């Protein structure tokens, strides 16, 4: 019964550069939960304090926050201290997945395919990008929604691309460009029970899947399930699940891939609090598997828990 969830807070908004997307996600989740009888209430963490959250009387919360302070382990740590069950990954997995550099290091340690990269800490490091070949992707490692990302064709555009990314982060990630098809695979569950949902292919105008084409434009095309053979589809499912579990993720997430021109998949990043807007990919994939938006929200909410287990203070 959906009423068994008690009083539910939908955390949205926040203070990150992805605030506007989070407002859309949160409203969608809130309306969907209310439509099936859940006692859901919106709570904007960008306008209200943690003290307000503690006093709101929530029995559990659905995290519909994106980016810093919502997807990076910060709010998850606070919720652990409050003893308030929440959706998605715990503090450590959230922090790891939000950091694209650390994510790639973990994946490489587990033998998972991810594009080559170098870390830039200043303009004096820009020469390192040439080793990746051209074009190259320059991006801030702690932002989502394609914010601050530039595709650089040669050294001429490198300085400006670095300055843009450095406006978001102290470190900048330069990544090998993979030419091919853009795919994403949502995952639900935890550990051995984690399961991938149908693959989505994203076809953006000119191959430019930027913020506008992600959330605002109707020109971007989505194919779900993606037109792939069974063997490749199963391989993507296994890679997504391995990438998710290697970071310690749980509840739900979304693995983003590039499929190169030789048919080889490359992991780009893991999202631990994916978008839930009308243009978002997890609801699209869930729908292809026979799950409505409201059913998806309820399933995610049913996994809400505190993840940190420690000694109980006397």
Q: Say which of 256, 273, 280, 285 is annotated catalytic.
A: 256
Q: Say which of 14, 18, 71, 210 is annotated catalytic.
A: 18
Residue among 104, 37, 83 at smallest CA distance from 297: 37
Q: Say which of 14, 44, 254, 273 is annotated catalytic.
A: 254
Question: Peptide bond before 135: cis, by omega within 30 degrees of 0?
Answer: yes
Assess whether 77 carries a catalytic annotation: no
User: Which residues in 260-276 are b (16+ Cβ under 10 Å) and which e?
Assistant: eeeeebbbbbbbbbbbb
Q: Say which of 275, 280, 285, 293 is annotated catalytic.
A: 275
Residue among 11, 14, 5, 134 at smallest CA distance from 69: 14
Residue 108 burial (C-beta neighbours within 10 Å; 0-12, 13-18, 19+): middle
Assess whether 254 carries a catalytic annotation: yes
Assess whether 269 carries a catalytic annotation: yes
- What pairing do the DSSP bridges indicate for beta strands 180-190 and 39-44? unpaired
Distance between CA atoms of 258 and 285, rounded to whole angstroms? 17
Question: Do 203 and 177 form a contact (C-beta atoms < 8 A)?
Answer: no
Residue among 162, 181, 172, 176 at smallest CA distance from 134: 176
Q: Say which of 12, 86, 215, 244 is annotated catalytic.
A: 215
Q: Say which of 89, 94, 145, 246 is annotated catalytic.
A: 145
Q: Say which of 175, 201, 241, 269 is annotated catalytic.
A: 269
DSSP letters, 267-285, are: EEEEESS---STT-HHHHH
Assess whether 256 carries a catalytic annotation: yes
Assess whether 275 carries a catalytic annotation: yes
Assess whether 215 carries a catalytic annotation: yes
Helix axes 281-288, 293-302, angle to 10 degrees: 100
Residues recognised as catalytic: 18, 145, 215, 254, 256, 269, 271, 275
């Amino acid at each position: 019964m959906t009423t068994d969830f008690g009083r539910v807070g939908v955390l949205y908004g926040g203070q990150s550069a992805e605030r506007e997307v989070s407002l859309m996600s949160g409203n969608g989740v809130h309306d969907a939960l209310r439509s099936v009888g859940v006692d859901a209430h919106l709570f904007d963490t960008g306008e209200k304090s943690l003290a307000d959250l503690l006093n709101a009387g929530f029995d559990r919360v659905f995290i519909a926050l994106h980016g810093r302070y919502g997807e990076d382990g910060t709010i998850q740590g606070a919720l652990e201290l409050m003893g308030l069950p929440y959706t998605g990954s715990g503090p450590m997995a959230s922090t790891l997945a939000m950091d694209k550099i650390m994510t790639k290091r973990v994946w490489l340690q587990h033998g998972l395919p991810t594009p080559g990269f170098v870390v830039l800490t200043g303009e004096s490091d820009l020469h390192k990008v040439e080793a990746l070949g051209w074009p190259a992707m320059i991006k801030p490692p702690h932002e989502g929604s394609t914010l601050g990302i530039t595709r650089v064709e040669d050294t001429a555009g490198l300085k400006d691309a670095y300055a843009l990314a450095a406006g978001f982060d102290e470190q900048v990630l330069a990544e090998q460009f993979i030419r091919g098809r853009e795919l994403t695979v949502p995952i639900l569950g935890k550990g051995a029970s984690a399961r991938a949902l149908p693959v989505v292919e994203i076809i953006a105008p000119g191959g430019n899947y930027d913020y506008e084409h992600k959330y605002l434009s109707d020109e971007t095309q989505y194919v779900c399930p993606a037109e792939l053979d069974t063997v490749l589809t199963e391989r993507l499912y296994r890679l997504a699940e391995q990438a998710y579990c290697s970071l310690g993720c749980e509840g739900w997430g979304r693995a983003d891939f590039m499929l190169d021109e030789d048919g080889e998949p490359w992991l780009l990043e893991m999202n631990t609090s994916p978008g839930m807007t009308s243009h978002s990919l997890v609801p699209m994939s869930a729908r292809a598997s026979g799950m409505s938006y409201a059913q998806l929200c309820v399933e995610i909410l049913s996994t809400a828990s505190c993840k940190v287990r420690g000694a109980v203070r006397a």
